[in-house]
Structure 1
Amino acid sequence: MTETSASVSLNALDLTVAVIYLVGTVVVGFAVGRKQKTTSDQYFMGGRTLPWYVVATSMVATVIATEHFVAQVGAAYARGIVIAAFGWNVWIVYTLLIWIFLPYYMRTGLYTMPEFLERR
């Protein structure tokens, strides 16, 4: 087996485009940020105007990330299809956790799980 090496070189145009993009992103962020005055409640909880199913979906989406899909496929390859049982059954656990924690979150104004652990 032979090894190949790849080298990447950036020229002045590449660096200029990258710097312009980053500066532009910061400028747009500051411009939009000045116009919108939101509190942490509005940012984290949608101003408490979101229906329960949107908040519940957000809680589930917070737990699921790209690495879950990659890790699940790798684990299934290494250990077998039994690894998929997690994905098939986790919706039951998430549903129970949402029914337990969501009313408390909404009632007490909590934003994050660490804040919940701090208050308990």
Structure 2
Amino acid sequence: MRMHHPDADTSLIRRAHHEAAIRHAGQTRRSGDPFLTHCIAVAAIVADIGMPPPVICAALLHDIDDSPCPPGRVTERFGKEIAELNLGRPHRQTQRHSTQRTPLPHSKAADAPADA
């Protein structure tokens, strides 16, 4: 990030990292790695391509909706811009508040046409 934004205040990014670490504590990927490693990897990608600090924060926080995070917390702690960056992304349907992040079973009824 410093290469693209040398004068940027990194305190917001540090706070986003801390929040993501708290919200993903105990969550693991199928590989067994801590889930937070995914959030950090996404943040590193957007930082490497020159995105500004709010986008990096949104990348760190992009999956806390699948954690025991109170509604409105991202807006309250990080502002409307970062919250809206996260709201604009497609959401996967996953088990909420789980230590294992595995997809919920897909219902064939959800795929059936409304007039069927």
TM-score normalised by L of structure 2: 0.28
Q: Which structure carries more helix by proportion?
A: 1
- Return the index of the structure with the highest Cα Rg: 1
Q: Which has the higher contact order (CA 8 A, sep 6+)?
A: 2
- Report the TM-score, using the length of structure 1 for normalisation: 0.28
